[in-house]
Structure 1
Amino acid sequence: MSDTTERTTRVPDEGPIEQLSEEERRTRRWERRRSAARSARRVLARSGLQGTIRGRLASLDAAGEVYDLDESVDVYGNGVVEALERKVAGLLGTEAAAFFPTGTMAQQVALRCWAGRSGNPAVALHALGHPEVHERDAFSRVSGLRPVQLTGEPRQPTAQEVRDCPEPFGALMLELPLRDAGYLLPSWEELNELVEAARERDAVVHFDGARLWESTVHFGRPLDEIAGLADSVYVSFYKSLDGFGGAALAGPATLVEEAKTWRHRYGGQVFQQFPTALSALLGLERELPRLPEYVRHARVVAAALREALAEAGLPWSRVHPEVPHTNEFQVWLPYDADVVAEAAIRTAEETGTLLFGRAWDGTVPGLARTEVDVRASGLEWSAEDVRAAVADFVVRLREEAGRVHG
């Protein structure tokens, strides 16, 4: 489930929504939700995805605080890009790091390099991992890798599952946190056991750490200690840090040097990337220090949501996990996704408060699932504010359910 799966083709506003195709309905709802997010007085998170081109360009006005803007522009990965790579390597405690235009490319390259060194192209990973769900079989179709699924359960894999895997694998890939299971992390002890189990199998360990930045509160450890458990780590610059895009692969200098060769072969040696690199440096400067605060407040928001939904008298509801591991978590409701999505957007349009700002997944009929993200704007919400927003939302949810089923 992702906002980016909803089409952004312009759909005329006239005409009843019932007369539109499914794709047109999704597009119209995406536009309404984006408009509601821009105009809402209160939101739990504001991200660049909801902004305008003018606003995103304006966000670089402060770039002089993180890099000398009188330096020459980057050409094929030097200058500001190299500065960003050094910054990431220092934060994660690795010998080196390489900038990539996408995380999909970064992880394929990393695991391809490890496969070449180990002689084994099999990668053990979770069935809900990003490469299995969101990358159109890129591992096998592009990079000659062979995914081996450890489990499909909506939880992190266990060390015993790693030990019991019925075939050899060259690398263990762990997504931290596991987004599609509810942004779940193992405990620190469980993570160490997973890594040790992989070592027992003579496998390297790679962290899909797109949102690893958010994990320090749950683990109670600094970033470099967490990353130090793995042989290589990928991190994203736009998911947690609100950069324009981009990713980094961090690890041993020899691996990173080889990865840069493959980056060129994969078409990732982009001519100039200074806007993206500058936005990443700003994210590391401004957002990274605040992520622990977002995580702690997400727990306040989640508790208030859970209590208010239960008190509202709905058949049932679920906040998952009950105590969020990061500043993002899931909410489940017993209604069709279209009904809940319309109620959420109406609430924002009519009250100026956007409680649920992301798309609703309706893969299972009669069940709707969304994700809640708490960032700087969410820190202004008290538990009582959350309760009031839930009350407004439930009124419209019942109205929409009655309209559809009445």
Structure 2
Amino acid sequence: MPDSLIQRRQTAMRACDRILSGVRPLTMREHVAALETAADLDGLPDFYGGGPVTVLEKRVAALLGTQDAVLFPTGTMAQQVALRYGAERLGVPAAALHPLGHQEVHERHAYAELTGLRGIRSTTAPRNPTAAEIVSLAEPVSTVVIELPLRDAGFVLPTWRELVEATKAARGIGARVHFDGARIWESAPYLGRSIREIAALADSVYVSFYKTLGGMSGAVLAGTADLTEYARTWRHRYGGHLFQQWPVALSALAGLDRELPRIPEYVAHARVIAGALATLPGARVHPEPPHTHQFRFWLPYPAAVLNEAMLTMAEKEGVWFAGGWSDADVPGYAMTEVTAAGPALEWTAAEVGAIGVRLLDLLNQETQRT
């Protein structure tokens, strides 16, 4: 996306009185001001670890119920280390990955290019692999990756029983289990278990701080003491052992305080929003109802037209609907991802339906002009 369009979207969203999908972008000054509410800024910063970084690592380890946790600058780096660890410990240079998983779609195959591992498809279905599919893998793997939720299939989750069976099957074939838990925080309501119970099914878990929690950046890889000792070594080798990360650590801690308790409410309200959007003419929602506070939404218009109409409504009427439309595989449709966060809680189902109708009116006017 061109920088000019990104800037236009951010400017329009910041000026809106009401936001249906997502959260209002913060300025750098607002980010810094938020840190002042998270901790005493008169304390000393971290020095290659320690300080607020250690506080964050210990807090996440306690939340997940793991022996330890390691802060990484990016999830891409953390996930490479998790897969490398499994391959070296088990002597099998292959991992079971979903073709829609983050490592395949959004990390430029870093696990293969930098670590030399091979990716074995765990399934081609738009969901995480089942126990039967894991048992039927064509060759041995050191790690089975399960993404909770599977974002590029529509933020979909297995049932608790399916997840338990899949992790048992992975260990039955001699593999480790790694949870790509960038959004694991919002998976708990659908699975009906605590974060600790979910994480206990895996040998390693990666979590993100800027997704959902609203942190500046950063991720944690959590697991056994042996894993985290290995992870600290490889974090340094990959260039991720940074001199100071206190802004990242403090913003993550603030997100855990502020957003984590509200996630069940977000997930519940996403179902209200999705139900209202699904009633619009030609609209499609997946999954229905949503498994988390995010879901996919389709309308029968070109993406360029939708993006322009949505921005026009934001700039002229002060209402943000949902941005980032892209042309879908279904001819004539475009798709976006809807995120029900704090601002969405202000919307009733009737208001969602009304603003959807207003957007359709703008779209029809634009279509008639062209």
For normalisation by structure 2, the TM-score amounts to 0.97
Partner in structure 1 of residue 26 of structure 2: 51
Residues 158-169 of structure 1 aligned to structure 2 (within 5 Å): 158-169=130-141
**Residue from 57, 60, 67 that aligns with 1:88:** 60
1:189 and 1:56, CA in 2 relative to 1: closer, same or farther beyond 3 A?
Answer: same
1:183 and 1:302, CA in 2 relative to 1: closer, same or farther beyond 3 A?
Answer: same
Q: Tell me the matched-pair count.
A: 369
> Structure 2 CA distance, aligned partners of 1:99 and 1:336?
41
Q: Contact (CA 8 Å) 1:45, 1:376: kept in 2 or not?
A: no
Partner in structure 2 of residue 320 of structure 1: 286
Deviation at 1:73, TM superposition (A): 1.0
Deviation at 1:402, TM superposition (A): 2.5
> Structure 2 CA distance, aligned partners of 1:215 and 1:46?
18
Q: Contact (CA 8 Å) 2:95, 2:118: kept in 1 or not?
A: yes
Q: Contact (CA 8 Å) 2:21, 2:321: kept in 1 or not?
A: no
Residues 20-35 of structure 1 aligned to structure 2 (within 5 Å): 27-28=4-5, 30-35=6-11
**Residue from 7, 10, 22 that aligns with 2:2:** 7
Deviation at 1:401, TM superposition (A): 2.4
Listed one character per residue, the Cα deviations across residues 340-372 of structure 1 (whole Å, up to 9, x for unaligned) are 11121122222211111x311225352211000
> Structure 2 CA distance, aligned partners of 1:55 and 1:170?
44
Deviation at 1:34, TM superposition (A): 1.7
Partner in structure 2 of residue 360 of structure 1: 325
| Partner AA of 2:185 in structure 1 | W
> Structure 1 CA distance, aligned partners of 2:66 and 2:73?
20
- More deviation in 92-101 or 382-391? 382-391
Q: Contact (CA 8 Å) 2:177, 2:203: kept in 1 or not?
A: yes
Deviation at 1:62, TM superposition (A): 0.3
Deviation at 1:332, TM superposition (A): 1.0
Identity level (%) = 53
Listed one character per residue, the Cα deviations across residues 289-312 of structure 1 (whole Å, up to 9, x for unaligned) are 1111111111111111112x1xxx
Partner in structure 2 of residue 15 of structure 1: none
| Partner AA of 2:31 in structure 1 | R
Deviation at 1:388, TM superposition (A): 1.2
> Structure 1 CA distance, aligned partners of 2:22 and 2:291?
20
> Structure 2 CA distance, aligned partners of 1:197 and 1:367?
38
Deviation at 1:51, TM superposition (A): 2.2
Deviation at 1:33, TM superposition (A): 2.0
Deviation at 1:137, TM superposition (A): 1.6
Deviation at 1:111, TM superposition (A): 1.1
Q: Contact (CA 8 Å) 1:214, 1:291: kept in 2 or not?
A: yes
**Residue from 91, 108, 129 that aligns with 1:119:** 91
Partner in structure 1 of residue 18 of structure 2: 42
Deviation at 1:45, TM superposition (A): 4.5
Partner in structure 2 of residue 136 of structure 1: 108
Deviation at 1:399, TM superposition (A): 1.7
| Partner AA of 1:366 in structure 2 | G
Partner in structure 2 of residue 206 of structure 1: 178
Partner in structure 2 of residue 338 of structure 1: 304
Q: Contact (CA 8 Å) 2:215, 2:251: kept in 1 or not?
A: yes
> Structure 1 CA distance, aligned partners of 2:246 and 2:227?
24
Listed one character per residue, the Cα deviations across residues 4-54 of structure 1 (whole Å, up to 9, x for unaligned) are xx232xxxxxxxxxxxxxxxxxx43x3332222111110025547x22212
Deviation at 1:334, TM superposition (A): 2.1
Q: CA RMSD in A?
A: 1.3
Q: Contact (CA 8 Å) 1:342, 1:400: kept in 2 or not?
A: no
Structure 1, unaligned runs of 5 or more: 1-5, 9-26
> Structure 2 CA distance, aligned partners of 1:351 and 1:368?
23
